[in-house]
Structure 1
Amino acid sequence: MESTDNENFNAGNSARLSTEIIQNLIDNYRSNQLTFINEKLGIDDAHSIWFDLVTLKKFIAEIEEAAQNLDSPISEEDLGVRFYYAAYPEIPQEPIPENFSKKHTLVMVPTKKEQNQNYDFNPFESEENALAITGRMAMAQNHGDLVPPGSTNVESY
């Protein structure tokens, strides 16, 4: 059976991509989306974000723990993380630094698989309240280090 390009690209069992693919993907973003954003908004937008492993592992552990503490526990195989592209407001509020103004960021939220679809999942809410987003707390992660405003000398790509 012949595999598709999408299956090869998303192999899942290996955390490896060729440096050429990585560079090509990053170059595509920078020469298209980032250039458009910078020109249209007149800013030097972030093009990368860094999170330390402790923060990422803690977030994953919190998702797993919360999923196990539900009335109907969710298996590890049915959990995931969705990365939403986001942007800081023009006038950030503490603890967000002022130099993050209007820059790209990521917001990570847990997901759970149901009927072969990965749905956003907030283990702090019951299913009947899940659609009422306003005024509720949700499990999420943000506040990585952006480049820029951070130094680009730490990046390889």
Structure 2
Amino acid sequence: MTPLPNDIVDKATFDQLLEMDEDACYPYYSTACLPLTLERRFEPGFSQGLVENFFQQAEGTLKEIQVSLQQRDLNALSRQGHFLKGSAAALGIVKVKLCFEKIQYLGQGKDEFGQGTSDPNVALQRIAALISDVNRHLAEAKLAFQAFYGA
């Protein structure tokens, strides 16, 4: 088991999820170290299920985002960005959350920081560029979680 890098996952947020795991002990996360039984040591916990669901959810929603980009549907892009921003934030996946937050704002006609306004054509171009960042950060986070859970 490898600790999760701080630049990928917010430890305080993820610690809260680890506390919900039953009979699990993660040596790098002392607040979530509960007694282990040998039989349950390698069973996936609640947190691992949430993480796996997030990556499946992200994959499906990224396909929807591609369709929304082709249709130039900024409202849908804002909703999709908001949806995945919330899911990433709940797990503490920092870089992914920030990318989806930018997509949400751009879809709302604002700049990437939620201020002012953005030209729709520029917003669509910027969202398309952000997708490569999202894919890179998702892959990075997925590898970190696989190392953490020993998958």
Measured against the shorter chain, the TM-score band is under 0.3
Structure number with higher strand proportion: 1
TM (norm. structure 1) is 0.26
Structure number with higher helix proportion: 2
